[in-house]
Amino acid sequence: MRVKQHTLAWALPAVLVLAACSPAPTALPAAGDPAPATLSSVEVSDQDAGQGTVIIDKISAAEQGWIVIHLDVDGAPGPVIGHSAVQPGENLAVPVAIDLASATPGLFAMLHVDRGELGQYEFPGEDVPAMAGEVMVNVPFRVTLPAMEPSVTASDQSAVNGIVTIERVVAAQAGWIVIHIDANGAPGPVIGYAAVTAGSNSAVPVEIDLAQATPTLHAMLHVDAGQLGTYEFPGDDGPVRAGDAIVMVPFQLLESQLTESQPPDITY
């Protein structure tokens, strides 16, 4: 009996040493435990958007959400022109139908979460942009757009704080939307202008010289053909033509304080 006790006394420290040297067992996740978090990311290539759809190459999403296509406004994400649902994990070659008439050559593919009513896109609202740390998951890319006929759309309006808003300007190249006063039914001198980009431009604000305004104004598309970013008219930045016609549209200024004088005629 003493021999057995003696043997056990020596054996126990050996077992403890072996246990201390053995690697700890790997704990298996219990059923129902959440999967490890996915690092959200977006990959997209420059592409042709002529059919009204863009393809997002790869989306890794930490949760259910949306891939959202934003317009480019001065190098930053602007209004939304399309969105598609994405599932948690990896999503490949995700198609997104876009509003081609409003598209700009530069777009942003931004990942949003689906935090409100599941399956219902709610932005502005609860479906805010997804974050990777403190950075929005957002990737810029370029698209080739189909040739669009230059056009200008403007409605009768009041000048709010001396600003008129041109509903839509479609330009084949960077240029200007220029506000001309009326000279006996034709466009006269310029009282305001604003830059426009190639493609579709929506709700373009233009500050005007209200003291020189006439009841009828003309919103005319001009090119930016001289020094880029510098308005030069008279000069290189002349009116855009569609065939033989100047791209312009008249509209009424609903304003009480207007000049009664008529400006001289100008021929284009």
In a domain, 8, yes or no: no
Please tell me the total count of domains within the chain.
2
Q: Are residues 46 and 114 located together in one domain of the fold? A: yes
25 in any annotated domain: no
Sheet strands side by side (includes 65-73): 47-48, 138-144, 106-113, 65-73, 76-86
Rounded alpha-carbon distances, angstroms, from residue 161 to 30, 172, 192, 205, 256? 64, 30, 13, 11, 13
Q: How far is the first Cα of the chain from the last one, in angstroms, to the nearest whole number?
A: 121
Structure tokens at 169: 């300007």
- Contact between 101 and 83 under an 8 Å Cβ cutoff? The reply is no
**139 and 222 belong to one structural domain:** no
pLDDT of residue 173: 86
pLDDT along the chain (268 residues), means of 10: 35 33 40 57 95 96 97 91 97 96 91 95 95 94 88 95 94 94 96 91 94 96 94 94 94 67 48
Domain that holds residue 107: 41-144
Q: Of the candidates 94, 125, 144, which is a domain's last residue?
A: 144
For position 50, what pLDDT does the model report?
Answer: 86
pLDDT score of 204 = 96
Same domain, 108 and 140: yes
Instruction: Give the CATH number of the domain where residue 128 resides.
Output: 2.60.40
